[in-house]
Structure 1
Amino acid sequence: MMDGFNDRSSTASLLATRRSGKAREMAEPGPDAAQLAAILHAASRVPDHGKLNPWRFVVIADRAAFSEALLRIYQAGKPDAGRLELEAVAQFGTQAPCLVVVLSSPKPSHIPLWEQELSVGAACQNLLLAAHAQGFVGNWLTGWAAYDAAVLTLLGGAAPERIAGFFFIGSQARPLEERPRPDPAAVISRWPPESIG
């Protein structure tokens, strides 16, 4: 048994073993074109009330050029930034073999914005699970660039779209360390409370 799942269930095993790797520790190879297409197809198979597709995926084909553009945007907003700060920005887009940006792209609808945003989060999680299923490690990052209007414009987005995150995908360069997980008793409750026990 693995976390209460039968080891024979590959889906359950996949869910129980997924964890993030650090983008800066990823190595080649990343997904090839067919693998990335399969990952993004799986990412789109999420609950989506109203069939609105309130998310978009931007594949960064030229990560070096993207990083240079990020650096220009950052320097325009922070002309006094220090060397180490600028180096971190310059290296951001090239720290893993593959980079996909997920945009939250809400549609005018009677479907509440909150429900559309939940669908975006589900697409993000499916992307990570699909990368894991393909044998890769993924890392969902945000940071300053996720909240910068000029970066959104660079990616072809416009308000009310927002950047949900930068998704780095690659191969593990070193064994992943397990992180602490919540005690089920701390995050699971029953209603009415008297039904516990």
Structure 2
Amino acid sequence: MSETNPVMEFLLNRRSRPAKLLRAPVPDRAALAPILTAAARTPDHGKLVPWRFVVLERGALSRLADLVEMRGTALGRDPEDIAKARSAYDGSHLAVVVVEAPQTSDNIPEIEQTYSAGAVCLALLNAALASGWGANWLTGWPVFDRSFVETGLGLAPHERVAGVIHIGTASSTPPDRPRPEVEAITTWMPE
């Protein structure tokens, strides 16, 4: 192709913005709707929709920050780990939790549903960035604690967090990080 494709240009140059550098303003519900809609267009074998969204606004994030501290203390975690995990919620103004919600299927293995949930995270991240917002995909130990996700996020016992996508206004542009050399990670199979 001789013309520059704006979508490829975006993908070749996209960069997440560190969550700790995201500030208000954040997208309101009307601005977030097309971002969520774009993320929901992710490949989904069998049309099972094995994921869902939980949008965390400022009040919910504050409540979850307190729960992080309570759970971290109960689990005997290092105070530094607790403080770091707490700051991800305390310092955020908007986050979308992508919940992996596997469906029973004779044809679609659960691992494919897991991959689809991960793809939703990337699609959500890219849709937020393409919309002009800063965004970052995080997890951290709290989302692997059943008590935290069931009490704080309302997850069912069979559900897991695939990612927490923080969205806001980027206060600065970080330098690009090293990227893999495609030749080093690609194998070509001859005919």
The residue aligned with 2:178 is 180
Q: Where do residues 100-111 of structure 1 align in structure 2 (5 Å cutoff)?
A: 100-110=96-106, 111=108
The residue aligned with 1:158 is 156
Higher helix share: 2
The residue aligned with 1:20 is 16
* Cα displacement (A) at 1:10: 2.2
> Partner amino acid for 1:166?
V
1:27-57 Cα deviation digits (max 9, x unpaired) = 2221121111111111110110111111111
Q: Where do residues 9-88 of structure 1 align in structure 2 (5 Å cutoff)?
A: 9-61=5-57, 62=59, 63-78=61-76, 81-82=78-79, 84-88=80-84
Q: 1:47 to 1:175 in 2, by over 3 A?
A: same
Q: 1:181 to 1:5 in 2, by over 3 A?
A: farther
Counterparts of 2:127 and 2:83, CA distance in 1: 31
Do the aligned partners of 2:118 and 2:163 also contact (CA within 8 Å) in 1? Answer: no
Identity of aligned residues (%): 37
Structure 1 length normalisation: TM-score?
0.87
Q: 1:15 to 1:160 in 2, by over 3 A?
A: same
Which structure has the greater CA radius of gyration? 1
1:117-149 Cα deviation digits (max 9, x unpaired) = 111111111001100111012111111012110
* Cα displacement (A) at 1:85: 4.0
The residue aligned with 1:121 is 118
**Which secondary structure state, in structure 1, belongs to the residue aligned with residue 137 of structure 2?**
strand
Question: What is the number of residues matched between the two proteins?
Answer: 187
**Which secondary structure state, in structure 2, belongs to the residue aligned with residue 92 of structure 1?**
helix
Structure 2 length normalisation: TM-score?
0.90
Do the aligned partners of 1:14 and 1:132 also contact (CA within 8 Å) in 2? Answer: no
Q: CA RMSD in A?
A: 1.8
Do the aligned partners of 1:141 and 1:166 also contact (CA within 8 Å) in 2? Answer: yes
* Cα displacement (A) at 1:81: 4.1
> Partner amino acid for 2:41?
R
